[in-house]
Structures are given as C-alpha cells and as structure tokens.
Structure 1
C-alpha cells in the first residue's frame, strides 16, 4: 500500500521524483525517500515522516542525476523509522530498490542471504530484494539476467523499481501490485498510480502480472519473466492534471465533496436516454442468464454495494453484498455461470476485491467491475468494466466516488431488472430516471445552503456518534459513520434503524447524538426508532427535506432537497460528509492523511 515513482530522461530527476511523491502521498505517509544515480554512486535520501519533511531535508543538499526512484510508505513490516524507509540498498550499496507489496517468503530469503554474509539494517521485507539482486549480479552474465533471477525468487505481491550503480537504467517488475509506465517525449516514468506523473504525461502503459521492463534514456524494453519481448498498448488517460490538485481548497477532501456535482454529471452523462438506461457495453439481454448477484467490495465501496444490493432486492432479484476480504473463505453459496459477481472498487487495485473477483472467475461466474480507473487490474481482469467517471480522488476518505458508485449501481440495477426473468421494475422507475438528472443540481443546493459547520460545532464534543437509516439509507448511515470515524478519530457507528433497540440502545446517552436519515421511503419506522433514542436522552439530528414530519421532533436538522427516494439518500450523504469534515477541522485532525490509513489498499 505504498507509492513508488521512478524517472529517467534528460535533466535532473529529483524535482520530478519529489513532486511525484507529493502526488502519491495518499498511498502512504509514514516515511519517504529517493535514490538518484549521480555518476559516482547511488545517493539515497530517506527519513520517517511525510514527504514535506523529506523535501525540507533536501533543500541544503539537492542530489544530482537524471535517473532516480522514490517511495512513500504505508508500513506493513516494521515501524515507520528512518531505517525502514525506502529506498533500501544492498550490502555494498550497489543496488537500490523501492517496492510496493508484501514479499511472503522474505524470512527464508533473508536467512539464505545471511548465510552468504549479508547483513540487514531494517525490519522490512523489502530489504531482501536489493541484497538478492546484488547476490545474483556476482555470477549473472548481465544485470537484466540478475534482475530476472531476483524477481523469480520472490513470492507474494510486488511492484519493484531498482537502480544499479554505474548504469543509466531502471529495472522494474510487477506481480499483484499496480505499476504504470508514463511516456513523455524521451522521458519515462514508473508509478503506482497515474497522478504521480499526470503533470507531465497522460500516455500510459499498464503492467500486467509477470511483466518486466528496463527503462533507458533511449527507450523502454518490456519482457515476460522468461525474457520474451512483449508489447502493451499505450492508453491515453482523460484526466485534467488540475483534477489531481487542491484547486484552492484547504483539503483534497473538501474539494472532492464540492466537485461532486461535476463528478455526478460525468457519471450520468449519456446513460439515461428517452426514459431508458443505456450502459455502453451492457445492451438489453446481457444479463438474461443471471439467477443471482453477488457484490464484493471493501470499505466505502462496500457501502455502495449495499446500496446496489437493496435496489436489486427491491426488484425481486436475489442479491447479496459481501465484504471482499471474507468472500473467498465465507462460502457465499453456489457460484455458477448463472451468478453475476459485481466487484466494486474505486481504484481497481484493492487486493481483497481482486482476490474475490479472481475466485469468482475460477468458479465460472460472470464477473463485471464497477471502478473509477480505466486500465486498472480489476478492469482488465473482469469480463467487462463499468466506469463511474468520477475523475481522480486524492483524499483518503472517499467522497465523490461513493456518490458516483451508488448512482452507477442504481442505473445498473434497472438494466438488470429489465433482463432477469422474474424481476420487476419499481412502479416509479420513470420518475427515478427522470430525476437523476436533477441530482447534480440538488447536490449544489446542499453545498450552498448547508449548516453542517454549525451542527459540527454543536456536537463535536460528544462521546459517541450514531447514524441510522432504513433500506437504502442503512448504507448511507454506515457510510456516514465510516467517514466520521476515519477523519475525526471519534467513535461512530452506523446501524439499520430497527437494530437500535436490539443492543446499541444500551449505549445511548445525552452525549451520543443520533444522525437519522430520511428519504421518503419507510420513514415512519425510522422516526419511531429515533424517538426511542431521544426518549433515552439522545439528541436527534434529522437529515431530511424541509417539510418532513421529523422536523417537529428533531433537535437539529440537516436539510436535503425534495427528490426521488433513491437519490435522497445520496443528498443526505453529502450532508454527513460535510459534518465529518467540519468536525475533523474543529478537532485539528490531518483530514487528507488520517492516521494508519491509505487510499488504495493493495495488500491483504
């Protein structure tokens, strides 16, 4: 779950390496480092802490060289110390390596290398790679062969970039962790994610598992693990570099909350025409053979999957949302060619979701992925991909991508209900499809009129925070609680509203505000549940339209525009995102870089 960057070309590499690390810091911010080939050895600069601290340390001694690698770390093996920061070097400093992933057999490799006289200075699994590479350099006919022998010995997941002293080249390989090549008129980049080099190029090549590459000033050579030359297509990423910046906002999260209207407009564009859903690669009849649907996802994407599951269940389709980390081991029931598995993943690189996706394919299921990233591993592994078109999201706490995922799955649910035998579209589906185009405008209205800051000021000193909702709003409540705990570090839980009295009510006190979501569907029971909490002293914050009955009994109110119930929950979600954001500001939390978390979870 780390971020790697590498660059080769004319001119000094260090400025572009550091800016690439700044753009990748959402992938990890425990420590950071760079290594540059300077003509008289490999210069390594690394330290614990954020990229800004590394950058400050380079001011007085800027390393020179046109070839370099860099890394920003999310710790898996060993604490975030200077010694455990990447790049790691070999016994004689002849090799420097950055790595994203987990080397599962590093203990055995370390023991073997120790027997050959190698000494290790860190707690990481990564350090075995440069030592192993150096060991093979002793007898291999060339550096490429030694690198190939090295990566063949590695078990687990990795994206690796390596330097060898005295050679203007970068050696790279991928197995299970993302790695992308950027091409820019004689300059070449490697990175874990596109934003690392988006300021320089939008032309990319996606590595596939088992790919190796040598980057030299004259070009890039790609091979498989046997040394056979391979060609990968160059793809153009249609992202504006400004989309990956803060754009004048104090935090990426606030920017991404505020750009949801644009993201949603992109998500919806062209997908509802003449009152019918039109989903590019899924024409009528695509899902005729589907008997049941499994969603697999993690975190925020799992809550979007719950949204989709509820819509399919409402249409009479057997559907279940699984946490991807449990899917392989949890015996989800019979999986066959008549099972549709929908993998929901913002990055398309989430390790647990990819594992579930591959398991489903092995068992013969039809697999599609709903993702934000063209060319991602999930998009290439699934039978088909449906893109949410939200644009780059940098804040670790997902915001606009949840909204775009939920809308995409809502439209997909209509497409499925039209095909699957025995399913029935809701009677108000025409209204649902007609009002989806109002959603961006309604989100704008929420952003312009919200009193979320005042609500945050009123309740931030509370002991715990509960979020409740029914039906589709159960997913919204769970997502609201996740957002709150992610960035405020305060205790928050989301429940199906009817579950309050089956245990959680024991925790309710006057110091536990309850955020209750109302969308115009099943609200009477949620209102009763809210009153039960209020009778025990809990203040009720109603997230509802202006004329809703709950306003008469609520202690506070977050207003949402009147709209179809399927979209009302997503407007409520925007209000809850804003409450979380302002509460985190009041508590002086590092909003874009919450402790212990990273954006793209590429390890299991």
Structure 2
C-alpha cells in the first residue's frame, strides 16, 4: 500500500527532484509513514526519513538534489516499523543500486539468509532491501543490468511493484505482480507510478503494466524505444497499450477546500451524474452484466471496506427480488466455492485491491463469470473481468471513500433496476437528490461536533439502512478515531444495549419509514441514550434529527450517504485529526 514514482528526463536536472516530491505528495494517500528519493546522475544519492512528504520538503533542500533519473517512495509500513533506516529507497552494499517497492516479499527471510552468507550487509528490517542486494549479486556473477534485474524478479515470491536504478545506466527498471504500476508518457520526460493522479499535471498519456511483466523506461518516446516491456520473455508491443485518460489535473487538487475529503464529498453530485451518464452511454456493457447476473444460480458480491457496504446494500435489493445474492467480505473469499452456474460482482474503487483480486482469481478458476465495478479504467480487476463497469467519480485522494461510495451506490441502483426490467430514467435525477442532501450539511456537521466529544457510539439501522449505518460507523472510526459500531437495530437488544448509559450516543439511520425503528429509539431513550437520526420522509422523534424529503424512495441511499460522510468529517476536524490521512490506513490495500 505504498506509493512509488520514477521519473526519467532529458530536461534540466534541478527540476526532477522537485517534480518527484510533488508526485509523492499526490501519492501520500497510499501511505505516509516515511518518504525518500534516490537520484541518479554521476553518482547515486539517497535522501530519506521517517515522516510525511511535507516534513521531507521542510527538512531537505529539494532543489539541490540533482539527477535526470529519480525514484521516490512514500511508505505504509509492513515489514519493520516506520524509521529513517526502514524508509525507501534501499540500496546494495556498494551504493550503486537503489530500489523502491510496493508489496510484500514472502520468501525474503530465506533470501536474506543466503545473501548474508555470501557477505551482503543489511541496514534495515524491510523485505525490500533484499532486492538491490540480489541485483548486485547477479551482476557480480557476470549478468548485465537487465538480466540481473529479471533474475531478481524470478527469485522473489509475493506481491510487488518494483522500480530500480543502477549507477551508470539511465534507465528505470520495473516489474509488477498484483500491485498497481502505470507509465505516463510526457514530452522529454517519462513517469512510472503507483497511480495516475501522481503525474496527472504533466501528462494524460498512459501505458498500463500488467502482472508478471518486466521492462525498463528511458526519457525517449515509446516510438523511439523509450518504453520496453516483456512478459515471460516475449516482447510487448507498447504502442498498442497507449491510452489517453480524460481526468483533469484540477480534480486532483484541493481547489480551496481545507481537505480533499471535504472537496470530494462536495463533488458527489457531479460524480453521481457523470457515473449514471457514463453507464447509460455504455448501456450495452451494462446489459451484458445484467444477462450474466440473471442467468446465474447464485451471485456473489465481493468487496472490502466501503465497497463491501455498497455490495451489501445491493445484495439486500436482490434478495428482496428472490435472487440468491451473497455478500462476501473479500478477505474471506476462501470460505466460498463457486461453479460455472455462479457469477461474481467484484466492487473496488481502485480496481487493485489485493483481496478482491485473489477472490476473483479463485472464482474465475472455478468457472464463474466475473463482473467488475471500479473507478479506474484499465485497472487490474477490470482487465481480469468478463464485463467491466465503471463509476465516473474521478480521482479520489482522501483515504476515506466518499464520492466513490456514493457513485458505487448509484451504479448498483441502475444495475438493480436493469435486472428488474424497470425503467431507470429516474436515476437521471439522482444527482439532484445528492445536492439536496448536501444542503443539510450544517445539521450533519452539528451532529459531528457533538459526536467528537464522545468515546463510543452506536449506529443502528434496519433493512437497506443497515449497510449505510455500517458505512457511517466505519467512517467515524477511521478518520475521527471514535469507537463506533453498527448493528441491525433489532439486534441491539441482544447484547449491545448493555453498554448504553446516560448520554451514550446512538445514531439511527432511517431510510425506509421506520420498519420498527420507533420502538428501538424508545428502548435507547429509556436507558438514557442521547438519540440522533438521519431520516427519509418520516420522523423518528429522536433527540436530534435530520429529516430529508426524497420523492422517489429508491434514491434514499444517495441522500443519506453524503450526510454520514460529513458527520464523520466534522468529528475528525473538531478532534484535530487529519481526515485525508488517517493513521495506519492507506487508500489502496495491496497487501493481505
């Protein structure tokens, strides 16, 4: 879940490091325990530290770092705690090879022991450090740089996106397996990164790298051999891979908002509108997905975190139609066995979530058809799918999913209506429901300010409101660090209510005109709870309430989603936490 960037340029050396640090800042949602860069000019220079990108910029004079080839890394710690010496890049014994890596090397202990027996000295606790030493060892045995790099990749087991530079060679070597890696083609400068937004201000021309591919990058254009890729020894025709994306650089900047999360919540109406428009424009693909789902004995809906909550809501909609739909937490995929009669709907904002990828790999091997819903075109999950559907939320920088969740829900409502053979023209007004909801932001912020004073909270819901309650509890936990739990409201009597004392906050999510929630509210009030509710069309008579008018009740999840996000955001701001970069979390989870 780290962020990596590589830049190779023909331009003046003084600009390269500054650009690399800017790119790292746009990647910091992937991890921010430590940061570092390696520059290659006449010599190899490595500068790194524990801390965030802004700390790095304050500590070091970036403009003084010279080199036309540069690697950068921002870390989410897996092997070894966040320290200066565990920060990437890592080097070999002779300080002539530097490597940055995202992923996990499963056999690093065995390889490290072998390398130590051969005289290699290690300076960190990371699994990554074996990579430069392996390259060094293979070069000692007479291999050229690319052969040594490929031999290293063949020796390691696990997941990886690797970038390496070698002194005396103005190329960036790369390899990918399970973790994202994409090339950006610029004028006199080429980029390679974990994610497109990192280099978006400089180019919209990309080449996506697939699993088990290796290659190298120079400053030349692809037409002149600037990008070389091979798969299991076979050369890939790079020009066939070149794509132009339609994201704009401004969409990846704060545009005057205090945090990316706030900006991205406010972008939800546009994201929903563009998502629905995009799916309707690609209705043939939607209907291919619908046919697969209708013809299935079972539908397994796979997701992690927020995407799982969107999938859970969709599964309830399908179950109410008598369809055998099973929500699956992606990391628990091994508990399920599928067949050719089953279909899989994989939901992932990034399209790179490792647990989702492993799940669809297993289910595909068992003969099931794969449908994906992602926010990133050409992502690994979308490329592994029989049918690929996309939200059009644009880049989301804040770690906590906001506009992407709302766009996922809108997409799934369209898919649900299509499965029912229902006219889904009502979804053309979906963005208006989100806009109307955001007009109540002040009330949701007031809820958040009160919640910020608490240590614990319950979020309760019934039916389709339960996944929204679960999403609200997750958001409050991950960015405000308040212990919050979600339960089916009727289940609260079977244990959870024992913790309710005077003033204990209980937030009810009510999207379906009660379903018995009135009784649950009274139960909590009788125990001294401070009750809150976010309700559609009908009051629950809680102590504090946000009441939203929604004419078409099918759209109620789109009204509730932005308000629970604002509630959590405001709680975080009042507590003084950073909602864009919650501790211990990263945007795209690419480790198991």
Q: TM-score, normalised by structure 2?
A: 0.95
> What is the root-mean-square deviation in Å for CA atoms of aligned residues?
1.7
Pair 572,221 (structure 1): closer, same or farther in 2 beyond 3 Å: closer
Which of the numbers 472, 487, 492 marks the counterpart of 1:495? 487
1:151 and 1:10 mapped to 2: Cα distance? 28
**Residues 78 and 434 from structure 1, CA distance in 2 versus in 1: closer, same or farther, beyond 3 angstroms?**
same
CA shift, 1:290, in A, is 1.4
Equivalent residue number for residue 426 of structure 1: none
User: What SS does structure 2 have at the residue aligned with 1:121?
Assistant: coil
Work out the CA distance in 1 between the residues paired with 2:533 and 2:167: 63
Q: 1:548 aligns with which of 538, 541, 549?
A: 538
Q: How many residues align?
A: 581
Correspondence for 1:15: 18
Question: What CA distance in whole angstroms lies between the structure 2 residues aligned with 1:495 and 1:564?
Answer: 26
SS of structure 2 residue aligned to 1:86: coil
Q: Label 1:496 to 1:565 Cα distance change in 2 as closer, same or farther (>3 A).
A: farther
- Answering whether residue 358 of structure 2 is matched by residue 369 of structure 1, we say no
| CA-CA distance at 1:453 after TM superposition | 2.1
Q: Which of residues 247, 250, 269 is equivalent to 1:261? A: 269
1:579 aligned onto 2:567: yes
Q: Counterpart in 2 of 1:238?
A: 246
Q: CA deviation at 1:16?
A: 1.4
Secondary structure, counterpart of 1:168 in structure 2 = strand
Aligned residue in 2 for 1:120: 122
Structure 1 88/271 Cα, relative in aligned 2: closer, same or farther at 3 Å? Answer: closer
Change (3 A) 1:145 1:60: closer
Deviates more, 1:94-103 or 1:561-570: 561-570
**Matches of 2:522 and 2:234, distance apart in 1:** 68
The SS at the match of 1:171 is strand
- Verify: 1:486 aligned to 2:478, yes or no: yes
Answer whether contact 2:414 2:427 (CA < 8 A) is retained: no
Is 1:600 aligned to 2:588, yes or no?
A: yes
Q: CA deviation at 1:285?
A: 4.0
Asked whether 1:391 is paired with 2:381, we answer: no
Counterpart of 1:183 (choices 173, 182, 185) is 185
- Is 2:345 the partner of 1:342? yes
Out of 62, 65, 71, the position equivalent to 2:64 is 62
**Residue number among 312, 315, 330 corresponding to 1:309 in the alignment:** 315
Matched residues in 2 for 1:601 and 1:282: separation?
Answer: 30
Alpha carbons of structure 1 residues 61 and 270: separation in structure 2 relative to 1, 3 Å: closer
Cα distance in 2 for residues equivalent to 1:554 and 1:3: 45
Contact 2:285 2:388 in 1 (8 A): no
Give the secondary-structure state (helix, strand or coil) at the position aligned to 1:267: helix
Per-residue deviation, 1:557: 1.0
> Within 5 Å, which residues of 2 pair with 1:485-524?
485-521=477-513, 523-524=514-515
**Structure 1: 5+ residue runs without aligned partners?**
419-428
Question: What SS is found at the alignment partner of 1:457?
Answer: helix
Q: Distance in 2 between matches of 1:403 and 1:506?
A: 33
* Worse-matched range after superposition: 441-450 or 354-363: 441-450
Q: Per-residue CA shift, 1:402-429, capped at 9, x if unaligned?
A: 11111111211222344xxxxxxxxxx5
Match of 2:475, SS state, is helix
8 Å Cα contact 2:33/2:76 also seen in 1: yes
1:356 maps to 2:359: yes
By how many angstroms is 1:434 displaced? 4.6
Q: Is the 8 A contact 1:27 1:600 kept in 2?
A: yes
Cα distance in 2 between the residues matched to 1:549 and 1:602: 43
**Alignment counterpart, residue 72 of structure 1, candidates 56, 71, 74:** 74
**1:81 alignment partner in structure 2:** 83
- Contact 2:18/2:63, CA 8 A, preserved across alignment: no
> What is the match of residue 535 of structure 1?
526
* Matched position secondary structure for 1:238: coil
**What SS does the aligned partner of 2:104 have?**
strand
Structure 2, unpaired ranges of 5+: none
Q: Distance in 2 between matches of 1:56 and 1:463?
A: 35
SS of equivalent to 1:517: strand
Residue 126 (structure 1) shift: 0.1
TM-score, scaled to structure 1: 0.93
* Aligned with 1:167 (options 166, 169, 173): 169
Supply the distance in 1 between the matched residues of 2:533 and 2:60 (Cα, whole angstroms).
51
What SS does the aligned partner of 1:7 have? Answer: strand
Superposed counterparts of 1:37-56, under 5 Å: 37-39=40-42, 41-56=43-58
Q: Is the 8 A contact 1:442 1:561 kept in 2?
A: no
Deviation at residue 442 of structure 1 after TM alignment: 2.3
Q: Deviations over 1:278-307 (max 9, x none)?
A: 453524745452121001110000000001
Could you tell me which residue of structure 2 aligns to residue 106 of structure 1?
108
Say if 1:256 and 1:393, in contact at 8 Å, map to a contact too. Answer: yes
In the alignment, the residues of structure 2 paired with residue 513 and residue 361 of structure 1 have an alpha-carbon distance, to the nearest angstrom, of: 44
Query: For the structure 1 residues 434 and 209, does the alpha-carbon distance in structure 2 shift closer, same or farther, using more than 3 Å as the test?
Result: closer
- Which piece of structure 1 moves more, 16-25 or 558-567? 558-567
Give the whole-Å Cα distance in 2 for the aligned partners of 1:435 and 1:531: 36
Is this contact kept in 1: 2:17–2:63, CA < 8 A?
no
Structure 1 pair 279/314, CA: closer, same or farther in 2 (3 Å)?
farther
Indicate the SS of the match to 2:115.
helix
Contact 1:446 1:559 in 2 (8 A): no
Cα distance in 1 for partners of 2:115, 2:60 equals: 33
For residues 423-477 of structure 1, give each alpha carbon's deviation from its aligned partner in whole angstroms, at most 9, with x where no partner exists: xxxxxx55xx354233212222222233122222333212311111111110000
Paired residues of 1:472 and 1:566 also in contact (CA < 8 A)? no
Please tell me whether residue 138 in structure 1 is matched to residue 140 in structure 2: yes
Kindly provide the CA deviation profile for residues 195-245 of structure 1, in whole angstroms up to 9, marking residues without a partner as x.
111011111111111111111233434343543321241111111111111
Q: Is the 8 A contact 1:476 1:570 kept in 2?
A: no
- Counterpart CA distance in 2 for 1:158 and 1:536 is 52
- 1:158 is the counterpart of 2:170: no
Contact 2:531 2:542 in 1 (8 A): yes
The reply to whether residue 569 of structure 1 matches residue 557 of structure 2 is yes
Equivalent residue number for residue 464 of structure 1: 456
